[in-house]
């Protein structure tokens, strides 16, 4: 991925949310991600509403960026084998796909936890020093892969 593309994302200056989706089997990335690889394959996707028509959408690897609020560290997150939905203004992270890639997903809302803490309502990567905040901001620094690139 070129630095120019990352800088272009920074200049756009938009904050984009990445939300957990417990009903989906695959992550979806929206219009604000940077596509790093297109598999040349598409899938037929349909939403929760049966009145909506099914769409043919591309399967991609994509990068999103954000800043850790407690340290200001900038992290580029790679989301592999995601469905690209160019009209979506946010990203949907499939808890199933994350767990299949050895991520720890604590998706219980903090207010429902008996003893909420730093590991409440978050995604924990195998690196114990890293946890994604809920609202990414596009900037460059390091990257973490949320899913393996090979199929499961």
Sequence ranges of the domains in the chain? 3-145
Q: What is the pLDDT along the chain (152 residues), one digit of tens a residue?
A: 444 344 344 435 667 788 888 888 899 999 888 899 999 999 988 776 677 788 899 999 998 876 777 777 777 788 989 999 988 888 899 999 888 888 888 888 889 999 998 888 888 776 655 555 554 443 333 445 555 555 44
The conformational region for residue 47 under phi > 0 = left, psi -120 to 50 = alpha, else beta, is beta
Distance (Å, whole) CA 36 – CA 38: 7
For the CA atoms of 114, 120, 121, 125, the dihedral, rounded to the nearest 10 degrees, stands at -150
DSSP, collapsed to helix, strand or coil, labels residue 32 as coil
The whole-model pTM stands at 0.73
Question: What tokens does 89 get?
Answer: 């203004």
Alpha carbon 100 to chain centroid, angstroms: 15
The answer as to CATH 3.55.50 being correct for domain 3-145 is: no
Burial call 44-66: b when 16+ CB within 10 Å, e when fewer: eeeeeeeeeeeeebbbbbbbbbb
């Amino acid at each position: 991925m070129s630095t120019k593309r990352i800088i272009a994302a920074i200049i756009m200056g938009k904050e984009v949310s990445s939300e957990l989706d417990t009903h989906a089997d695959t992550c979806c990335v929206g219009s604000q991600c940077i596509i790093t690889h297109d598999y040349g394959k598409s899938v037929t996707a349909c939403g929760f509403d049966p009145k909506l028509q099914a769409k043919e959408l591309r399967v991609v690897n994509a990068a999103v960026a954000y800043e850790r609020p407690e340290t200001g560290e900038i992290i580029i997150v790679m989301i592999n084998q995601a469905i690209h939905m160019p009209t979506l203004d946010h990203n949907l992270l499939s808890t199933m796909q994350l767990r299949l890639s050895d991520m720890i997903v604590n998706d219980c809302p903090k207010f429902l936890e008996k003893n909420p803490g730093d590991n409440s309502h978050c995604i924990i990567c195998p690196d114990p020093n890293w946890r994604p905040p809920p609202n990414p901001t596009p900037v460059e620094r390091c990257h973490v892969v949320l899913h393996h690139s090979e199929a499961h």
